[in-house]
Amino acid sequence: MGTSADTRFLTIREALAQGRDILERAQVQAPRLTAELLLGHALFVPDPAGFRPDAAWFYAHSDRSLREVEWIHYGRYLHQRIGGRPTQYITGRQEFYGREFRVTPDVLIPRPETELLVETALNTGTRTGLALDVGTGSGAIATTLALEGWTGAVLGLDISHAALAIARVNARQLHAPVSFLQSDLLAAIADRTADLIVSNPPYIAETDRPTMQREVADFEPSLALFAGTDGLAIYRRLIPEARRVLKPGGILTMEIGMSQADAVADVFTGWSSIQILHDLAGLPRVVLASMKC
């Protein structure tokens, strides 16, 4: 009877092929890349230097046999992924604006399309004063603003204590000068104190939940996703609160759903200008508004 001492575990090449096949049968998107990410996490999760293997590394080490503990971890990660758990929550990380952020099920996974929101905020003509990131989640937006040229203070706000804990870890690890405060939207902020408010708020209608990908609906925090029966509940609260908090001439910019541009624009009253910006796919993605001076 064989023992663990004489059992031959798969090579990296074999493990990647097997993982890809398992993920393909489960209809997981990008099965090859996902297999590489999960195997890399199994191989290097204890690595204090944070080494992340790429396709070239896997090719160069394709004949190396997995150790038993690596095989066990890899199998568990594959099982979690075919069960719907997002890869980012398995590996605990996601790239945003060229930097790696820690993510857990307590925070929304940062999306590449949200980078337009950051670019919009940084291109408003001013980079000084107080910037507020409302619903900061992982802190990706606030941290990126601070590291990409915002010279004033940056404050991340979130109602979730657990999310703020993750945001603080990310800012600290990336050496970003960002502070964080627990707040229900802008409730904790004094009148006429902010120069910029940026937010990627919840904007999905509750009625859309049954048709959403299970990776999103079942695993990402509902608090960061859903906003009433039409998806506009947070906009209806945040826009009037922003008028109270912004200084004259201050800027509010928010991410919006692709079919929400007109409805969100209708919520603005008493603002000097409103613009809708489109992403690379030509979809309305960001609203930019300024207060009257």
Interatomic CA distance for residues 108 and 158, integer angstroms: 12
- Res 54: pLDDT: 81
For the 105-291 domain, the top CATH level (class) is alpha beta
Give tens-digit pLDDT for 44-96.
Answer: 865 545 667 888 888 898 999 999 999 999 999 999 999 999 999 999 999 99
- Res 25: pLDDT: 97
Interatomic CA distance for residues 21 and 153, integer angstroms: 49
* Sheet architecture: strand order including 131-134: 178-182, 154-158, 131-134, 194-199, 246-255, 284-291, 271-278
Q: Which among 62, 54, 53 has a CA at the least distance from the CA of 15? A: 62
Q: What is the pTM of this model?
A: 0.92
Interatomic CA distance for residues 192 and 274, integer angstroms: 20
CATH 3.40.50.150 location in the chain: 105-291
Give tens-digit pLDDT for 145-198.
Answer: 999 999 999 999 999 999 999 999 999 999 999 999 999 999 999 999 999 999
**292 within 8 A of 248, measured Cβ to Cβ:** yes
Write the CB contacts of 80 (distance below 8 Å, at least 6 apart in sequence).
Answer: 90
| β-pair partners for 273 | 290
